[in-house]
Structure 1
Amino acid sequence: MSDGLHLLDGIRVVSLEQFIAAPYCTQMLADAGAEVIKVERPGSGDPRRWYDPKVGPDDDYISGGFASYNRGKKSVELDLSAEDDREVFDQLLGTADVLVSNLRPGSLARQGLAPDVLRERHPRLVICEISGFGTTGGPYAQWPAFDSVIQGMSGLSSLIGEQDGPPGLAPMGTMDLMSGIYGTIGILTALVGRAATGQGSHVDAAMYDIGAAFLERPLTLHEYTGEVPTRGIDRFSPVGAFRAGDGAWVSIVIPTDEMWRRCCAALGNPQLETDPELDTTLKRAEHMADRIVPLLEEWAKDMDRHEAAAALRAAGQPAGVVQTVADVRACAQLAHRGLFAPIDDERARRPDGSVLSLPRLPLLFDGQGARPGPVPRLGSDNDEFRPNHHAEVSS
């Protein structure tokens, strides 16, 4: 990256990655300035290179399933079953600070790359393995895992959807992204530790562990009460959404007595504060659907969603319009923050000259945000890392 963030300048990351979890992890590192070398299968590469939707020429396109997780990286094709390529890979590790892998558990060991072997050869190397169920064994250790599998097994799906309907799914990739985020936290923690000890670490990021930990609140409620949270009413938090007069939705939570007072003031109905059915948080949670939401909808029937949310905020009660994805993409606040970064690639240009833009690392450092680099073609950096290999770069 020639512009943007340089916080991780000098950090070299080598990644045996595919699909989402590990690529998203290393994308965040690349956004922060690290050099990320993506190691891919010769001729085919990361399977998500070929996913729809696509933009650009038929023989040289950018996949919408690939771009978000791989901007600003280098790509080298290596066949780790071939002795010459394994030698190149080991030379790369000798110059690397971090190795990331989200291959199936045992894949590294089968190729002579077990973490204990690598750390003996490269003691300063931080190794992060992202897998479905971890690398320490256990009854699920060898099971394959994708995002939807972990959403179901973690309990997340049991909390999404209508009370009497089937379990639902959060947007695909939710658990992959969460695992990538925790992988990044683990890597940065290990790098800080290395600065003190001179020794690398093995970071074991299990998607199932991460998915379960993500459900901290439902698990805490279960631990405290023995109850099993499920779809429908949240018995401990007055949370929900109501329709405004334009038919659109406004999301609200009223977690304290003070917030309830503010809400009643906004509704112009202060006597509700002492209503015996609504005078505690637990009672308001119980009656959110049958009392509070109808009260809010009656109050908002002559307002549109923006007016209703603004009136609540003016009274000190947090409320937000339920936006579509298109609303989010066009949001003035996010534009002000510069969240959507143009793809640095001519192939991403629309016929009208505008450029496709995707979310960058959603953090600012001293007011500065990331400016992700181009989407690498398969093998685009073969010549840099395989100087004696002159095969044509794949498009």
Structure 2
Amino acid sequence: MSNPIRLLEGIRVVSLEQYIGAPYCTGLLADAGAEVIKVEAPGAGDPRRSYDPLRRDAEGTLSGGFASYNRGKRSVELDLKTDEGRAGLDRLLETADVLVSNLRPGSLPRFGLGRDEVRERFPRLVVCELSGFGQTGPYAAWPAFDSVIQAMSGLSSMLGESPESPPGLAPMATMDLLGGVYAALGILAALVGRQRTGVGVHIDASMYDIGAAFLERPLTLHEFTGDVPTRGRDRFSPVGSFRARDGWVALVIPTDEMWRRCCEAIGRPELATDPRLDTVLKRAERMPDLVTDVLEEWAADLTKEEAARILRDGGQPAGVVQSIAEVRADPHLAARGLFQPVDDPRAVNPDGTTLSLPRLPLLFDGTAPVPGPIPALGADTDDLLGEERS
């Protein structure tokens, strides 16, 4: 692809970050061209530097759990428990546009960076604090990881085979990543607003708020109907997967017209007027014991790709259920350059190929942001703070 557009070039972000939420936020900003300075504790740095999977060779050690969220950044070691460390942070903030933190609520005031102090000393600075439950409210001091927010936001109550099955957890850090995306959105909005006002703002980003807002559909249904959505099938339209010869196909049939097209595509046009299936709600109720059976009988001798293609050709949205390996090898994603090689000598696979990770999943004027190298702990300390430290 051609050279990427670096839309945030010239924006300096200082981040007191660890684990996933804030690093994912600033990783997105770095992909878009911002200079991100990651402030880490001396010695070990971000705990994810030691997370599996680890790759060790002559070039050093690289953590996959760290690489995913920290490419394209600079690393500075500062002990913020000391006067010298806090002075170094202040020096970085003198030229910064954004300060991001996912440390515990109350941490910034301890570093002399409460809201009033920031407005007096760094009036143009945009500050974003991302935490489990926000800086205010009854739960503000509670520690939280992704699984806690999945549970409390209601997401876990929606994941599972039936209301009787145990609540589920999404296997990826869903709420951490959502928190990072919303924090990045808030930062961009604040930077645009600063162009008009000349003043930065403080963003209080709560993963709990974000998680609850993410469940807007079941919350809206509850608000309108009084019902409490729970685990199991969707009661408002047929949605789910059916088995083909070599795998699974997923589809949703939210309208009568889509149902008619589906029936035509599978050679069962009479089902479009079957009184057992003549409304969306009836089809949703019958999805497990009738709709799925009909589709699986039709697809028994078809591959999942063939079944999905026939449905798509008939105007019915459908897609195959892909494994992670199939996603990584998908030709469509390859054509769009989603997976970009990591610019790091440690990032070499056993077969000699370069490790590739997903970039910021947006194209700007048809060009893809290219992630930068993964910083070694403290690699940029002397460059950024050399004069003060000398």
Common topology (TM > 0.5): yes
Contact 1:5–1:31 under 8 Å retained in 2 = no
Is the 1:76–1:382 contact (alpha carbons within 8 Å) kept by the matching residues of 2? Answer: yes
Distance 2:283 2:201 in 1: 48
Q: Deviations over 1:49-72 (max 9, x none)?
A: 000111132882110110010001
SS of structure 1 residue aligned to 2:374: coil
Alignment partner, residue 70 of structure 1? 70
2:274 is aligned to: 275
SS of aligned partner of 2:386: coil
Q: What pairs up with 1:218-367 in 2 under 5 angstroms?
A: 218-246=218-246, 248-367=247-366
> In structure 2, the residue corresponding to 1:293 is in which secondary structure?
helix
Q: Distance in 2 between matches of 1:78 and 1:226?
A: 52
Alpha-carbon contact 1:88-1:385 (below 8 Å) kept: no
How many Å separate the matches in 2 of 1:11 and 1:197? 17
TM-score by length of 1: 0.96
**For the residues of structure 2 that align with 1:59 and 1:209, how far apart are their CA atoms?**
42
Q: 1:218 to 1:320 in 2, by over 3 A?
A: same
**Aligned in 2, Cα 1:59/1:9: closer, same or farther, shift over 3 Å?**
closer
Matches within 5 A, 1:136-285: 137-163=136-162, 164-246=164-246, 248-285=247-284
Q: In structure 2, how many angstroms separate the alpha carbons of the residues matched to 1:9 and 1:78?
A: 25
Partner of 1:132: 132
Match of 1:120 in 2: 120
Question: Is there any run of 5+ residues in structure 1 with no aligned partner, and where?
Answer: none
**How many angstroms apart in 2 are the aligned matches of 1:5 and 1:255?**
39
Q: Matched residues in 2 for 1:116 and 1:308: separation?
A: 61
How far apart are the structure 2 equivalents of 1:328 and 1:160? Answer: 22
Aligned to 1:375: 374
Q: Which moved more, 1:3-12 or 1:287-296?
A: 3-12
Q: TM-score, normalised by structure 2?
A: 0.97
Change (3 A) 1:172 1:206: same
**Structure 2: how far apart are the matches of 1:13 and 1:54?**
28
Moved more, 28-37 or 54-63: 54-63
Tell me the residue number matched to 1:85.
85
Helix, strand or coil for the counterpart of 1:89? helix
Residue pair 2:130, 2:204 contacting (<8 A) in 1 also: yes
SS in structure 2 of the partner of residue 167 of structure 1: coil
Residue pair 1:5, 1:371 contacting (<8 A) in 2 also:
no
Q: Determine the C-alpha separation between the residues in 2 that align with 1:120 and 1:173.
A: 37
**How far apart, in 2, do the equivalents of 1:116 and 1:183 lie?**
21
Runs of 4+ with deviation above 6 angstroms: none
Aligned residue type for 1:361: L
For the residues of structure 1 that align with 2:234 and 2:286, how far apart are their CA atoms? 10
Q: How does 1:17-96 map to 2 (within 5 A)?
A: 17-57=17-57, 60-96=60-96
Offset of residue 245 of structure 1: 2.2
Query: Secondary structure of 2:195's partner?
Result: helix
Q: Secondary structure of the equivalent of 1:361?
A: coil
SS in 2 for 1:118: helix
CA distance in 2 between counterparts of 1:369 and 1:54 reads 27
Structure 2 letter corresponding to 1:201: V
CA contact (8 A) 1:8 1:33 kept: yes
Give the drift of 1:268: 1.0
Counterpart residue type for residue 319 of structure 1: A
Question: In the aligned structure 2, how far is the partner of 1:300 from the partner of 1:209?
Answer: 42
Which segment drifts farther, 81-90 or 67-76?
81-90
- Which is worse superposed, 104-113 or 321-330? 104-113
3-state SS of 1:217 partner = helix
Which residue type is aligned with residue 351 of structure 1? P
Letter in 2 for 1:43: G
Alpha carbons of structure 1 residues 58 and 18: separation in structure 2 relative to 1, 3 Å: farther
Q: CA deviation at 1:282?
A: 1.1
Percent identity among equivalent residues? Answer: 68
